[in-house]
Amino acid sequence: MSGVGFGRPLAHDSVLHRRNPTVKLAVLLVVSTVLLAVVDPWTPLALWVLALVAVARAGRIPWRLLLRAQLLFGPFAVSILAVNCVTRDGPVVGALGPFEVTGPGLAIGLSLMLRTLLVGTLSVAFVLTTDGARLMTSLHQHVRLGARPTYAVLAGYRMLEQLPERWTTIRLAQAAREPARARRQGSAPAWLRAARTGRGLPDDAARQDDAAPREWRARRGGGTRLPVSPRALARAAFTLLVVTLRQGERMAVAMETRGLGAGPRTVHAPVTLDRRDAAFAAVTVGVCVAVIVAAARLGVLASWGSTFG
Amino acid sequence: MIEVRGLSVRFPRAEGPVLRGVDLDVADGERVLLLGPSGSGKSTLLRVLAGIVPQTVDADVWGSVRVAGAPVVVDPARPGGTDPGQAPGVTDVPTLARRVATLTQNPADQLCLPTVRDEVAFALENRAVPAEQIGPRVHAALTSVGAGHLADRRTSELSGGEGQRVALAAALVADPEVLLLDEPTALLDPVGARDVADAVRSAGARTSVLIEHRLDELGELPARLVVLDAHGGVRADGATAVVVLDEARALAAEGVWLPLAAELRAAGVTSLDALAPDAGPGAPGAALPRTTAAPLLRAHGLGVRRGTRTVLDGVSLDVHAGRVTAVLGLNGSGKSTLLHALAGLLPGGPDAGTVTGARVGMVFQQPEHQLLTRTVRDEVAYGPRRARLPDVDGRVERALREHVLDGLADHDPFRLSGGQQRRLSLAAMAVCDHEVLVADEPTFGQDRRTTRATARALTALAREGRGVVLVTHDLRLAGLVADDVLVLHAGRVLAHGPAEAVLADDDVLARAGLRLPPLLAAWRTTGLPLRPLLEALDARTAGSPAAQPERVA
């Protein structure tokens, strides 16, 4: 997703962008929780289609991006379907290789698969329309998340932003100490060995004779060869951990010396929470309930161990 | 405003106290410069004044400290006192922060929030300033440090100098009575350092305590100078103009870059011309003659693009055995990219041109990033073991000796001081047997003593017959170690030639945006050879390296 920074929303404005982050998060949690009770495929299918259209419109999220997000959750969703198809008891409706597929297994599997795609779509929409820092400010403001945890998360976010660059530097420093790939055994040429063993500088005549260096000269195409053994990666990861922890300590001190934790505080740019957020929550949850009611009326709604309608 | 009485501090597991019986009084509006050798407890004193030691960082503390009327350390011997540092009535750090602001070296450690506006507003929010007042005050603070135009930026996108000015605004925004500055310009390039130093000076007539070791390029110094000794006591206290001359010799040996007059005093001369006998022809610093031999490494017509931006354009450079080349230029001129290209560490390789020749090792700007093992010995042995070189133990012992790391072989690299880590990273790279070594700002943020040790190490590598390329902002260092200088500007080579000739070329320096430090400007008037002159000056001011024990951090 080029152009989208970590923890930063898509650059445009939209109805979803303008909604209160805490309300969006709450709606996402409510819808996900309600759907835990639904096991028929039709209800989540209807909600998934509605959700795709809704977030594409209200969040102005490009369809291509939404499709890529589906692919992100796709493999997990399909694996849930497969496992349920072949592990649940009931009348056999087909075969998947050596396994028998049961009717209830297929229905529950499809339901869970679609639920995964639905929750995935809503989560992606939340992330793509919500600024991480505004979310923390909103949680601090509206659900009384303490100042220390709030700013610890924000400082952690700053460190995460710097992590990729730091990792690259550490890995390059590591690569610089790897032996060249096609290096001849026996290492340094005579003139360099002479210099190293204390016999002083080679005289000019010796260095004029450039044969030795040319001998072990290899073309350097330029591509980076990073050591990829688990050991090498573990070493680099440890270095990254130590350096980052140290920085975390220093940032904690910096925030304290600027008065974090001195008592009551204000927020300079409060996140708004108004009627439009209430309307958003009502509409979203309302649509969800309406779909479930409609499913029940049509006799397709199913929950664990029972069917309605 | 600041009242320190008999202050002693000892950290857990430390052999002795880092501060011993320090007395210090700073009047309202007074500005104090605090100097002392590495390990003398300068930073610790500042952290005590901010309440961090012992409240956040555990330590045993004796004596009493009051800052801006608030009790920060209460003497247990006095009525009402109990355990050191734990005494009731001690002001906690966040509360003390209403009156005392701190600025440290690294902007990355101080910018904790995603946007500049959030960052500067933070201190006001914590003081519960009404929201409608915060906007105007943030704007005023940013404007006062020349950073008004940065208000809408994200903190992750700022350069070092910009970041440090934002951090200064974030410290000043709540209008503190006392400003504590711990080497605020140490990690900045000369342009950024000047901007920040100017911003600090114009920050208003506040009480301030400043730790700084680049006195040569700082311009106007605070009026009062306090010098700590190696044992954590006060060695000298008085008018800066007087004390800096009286203490010149000791300060130079302890790692402080002095203003020109004090530097000359430390060297025992009255003018640079007086060093002529030391710096004459045939002095030990004379470079190897330029050879006609084929270069060890040849870069030809290098071009690198990042998106639509041209980072390097048609850069050619030959690296010869026994010679040191310094690459100079402003931030963003392509210096680091050139080094990565030379070392074959450019992801994907250069877009144009070729690099052919020897194997290249690289020393990185922050030594911490190079550390990969748990002991100093393993760290040095890492490269040779990977390369299956013969006699690894012998090589390691030699390298430890040459880089003055003998006693530290079993120490944890991450627990060494900054200077020790720098020497370790140089040693670890030097043992790898690369024919060419490139170094990216190897003296960044280091004091003069470590800078001098780094210069010696790089020169020694060239003397062994290797080729050395270093990128630096420090023109004095370039003058001291470089045979050749290559000046980059916007990805192109502006000048490439013998160090003395390039550093004497006003036109090139002006076009590259480089400014000579006062010492080099003075050198231009003497007609003496540059490198022997700088070596003579260093030799006369250094003291003996062996007599400078360093504390393990």
ipTM score here?
A: 0.85
Do the chains contact at B435 and A192, CB–CB below 8 Å? yes
* Residue B370 per-residue DSSP state: G
Helical ranges in B290-334 per DSSP H: none
* Cβ neighbours, 10 Å, residue A304: 9
Q: Which residue has the higher pLDDT, B287 or A46?
A: A46
Overall average pLDDT of the B249-264 stretch: 87
Report yes or no: B515 and B190 within 8 Å, Cβ to Cβ: yes
B125 Cβ under 8 Å from any chain A Cβ? yes
Tokens 């290096």 identify what position?
A: A183
Question: Can you say how many angstroms the Cα of residue B339 is from the centroid of all Cα atoms in its chain?
Answer: 21
What DSSP letter does each residue of B192-220 carry, written as one string?
HHHHHHHHHHTT-S-EEEEE-SBTTSS-S
Q: Which residue has the higher pLDDT, B445 or A236?
A: A236
Q: Does the pLDDT at position A221 exceed 60? A: no
User: Cα separation of B215 and B251, whole Å?
Assistant: 11
> What is the length of chain B?
553
A225, burial (CB in 10 Å: exposed 0-12, middle 13-18, buried 19+)? exposed
Do the chains contact at A251 and B465, CB–CB below 8 Å? no
Closest CA to B500 of B469, B549, B533: B533
Average pLDDT, chain B: 87
Residue B515 Cα, gap to closest chain A Cα (Å): 29
Closest CA to B445 of B226, B270, B213: B213
Do the chains contact at B293 and A210, CB–CB below 8 Å? yes
Q: Does the pLDDT at position A241 exceed 90? A: yes
Per cent of chain B over pLDDT 90 is 48
Min mean pLDDT across A282-286, B110-114, B213-217, B422-426 is at B213-217
User: Cα separation of B184 and B348, whole Å?
Assistant: 37
Residue B321 Cα, gap to closest chain A Cα (Å): 8
B413, two tokens: 């690299």
Domains (range + CATH), chain B: 2-99+176-267 (3.40.50.300), 106-175 (no CATH), 293-320+332-359+473-545 (3.40.50.300)
Closest CA to B343 of B359, B367, B320, B326: B359
Overall average pLDDT of the A13-27 stretch: 94
Task: pLDDT band for A35, please (50, 70, 90 cuts).
Answer: very high
Phi, psi of A93 (to 5 degrees): -115, -5
- What are the pLDDT digits (tens) for B152-178? 998 888 888 889 889 999 998 988 999
Phi, psi of A272 (to 5 degrees): -75, 150
User: Cα separation of A53 and A57, whole Å?
Assistant: 6
The helix (run of H) or strand (run of E) holding residue B451 is helix B448-463
- The most confident of A215-219, B145-149, B545-549, by mean pLDDT: B145-149
pLDDT at B23: 94
Q: Which residue has the higher pLDDT, B27 or B200?
A: B27
Residue A110 Cα, gap to closest chain B Cα (Å): 41
Which of B127, B340, B435 lies at the smallest CB-CB distance from A262?
Answer: B127
Q: Does the pLDDT at position A76 exceed 90? A: yes
Overall average pLDDT of the A215-234 stretch: 63
Overall average pLDDT of the B54-82 stretch: 80
Q: Does the pLDDT at position A244 exceed 80? A: yes
Task: pLDDT band for B289, please (50, 70, 90 cuts).
Answer: low
Q: Does the pLDDT at position B28 exceed 60? A: yes
Which of B170, B354, B382 lies at the smallest CB-CB distance from A177?
Answer: B382
User: Cα separation of A286 and A54, whole Å?
Assistant: 14
Q: Which residue has the higher pLDDT, B281 or B22?
A: B22
Do the chains contact at B389 and A187, CB–CB below 8 Å? yes
The helix (run of H) or strand (run of E) holding residue B20 is strand B19-26
Residue of B nearest to A161 (CA): B156
- Measured CA distances, B110 to A217, B263, B553 (Å): 46, 33, 21
- What are the pLDDT digits (tens) for B470-480? 999 899 999 99
pLDDT at A213: 36
**Angle, in degrees to the nearest 10, between helices B392-402 and B418-430:** 140
Task: pLDDT band for A62, please (50, 70, 90 cuts).
Answer: very high
Overall average pLDDT of the B226-250 stretch: 91
Task: pLDDT band for A219, please (50, 70, 90 cuts).
Answer: very low
pLDDT at B484: 94
User: Cα separation of A257 and A232, whole Å?
Assistant: 38
The helix (run of H) or strand (run of E) holding residue B356 is strand B352-357
pLDDT at A183: 35
pLDDT at B511: 92
Q: Which chain B residues touch A187 with a CB distance below 8 Å?
A: 387, 389-390, 433
Q: Does the pLDDT at position B369 exceed 50? A: yes
User: Cα separation of A246 and A240, whole Å?
Assistant: 10
Q: Which chain A residues touch B102 with a CB distance below 8 Å?
A: 254, 257
pLDDT at B88: 63
Chain pair A-B, CB pairs under 8 angstroms: 238
Q: Which chain B residues touch A258 with a CB distance below 8 Å?
A: 97, 101, 122-123, 126, 170-171, 174
pLDDT at B313: 93
User: Cα separation of B158 and A278, whole Å?
Assistant: 38
User: Cα separation of B523 and B510, whole Å?
Assistant: 18
Q: Which chain A residues touch B128 with a CB distance below 8 Å?
A: 263-266
Where do the structural domains in chain A lie, given as residue ranges? 15-145+273-307, 150-178+188-214+225-256
Amino acid of residue B522: A
pLDDT at B551: 42
Task: pLDDT band for B540, please (50, 70, 90 cuts).
Answer: confident
Residues 339-378 of B with CB under 8 A from A: 340-341, 343-350, 354-362, 364, 366, 368-373
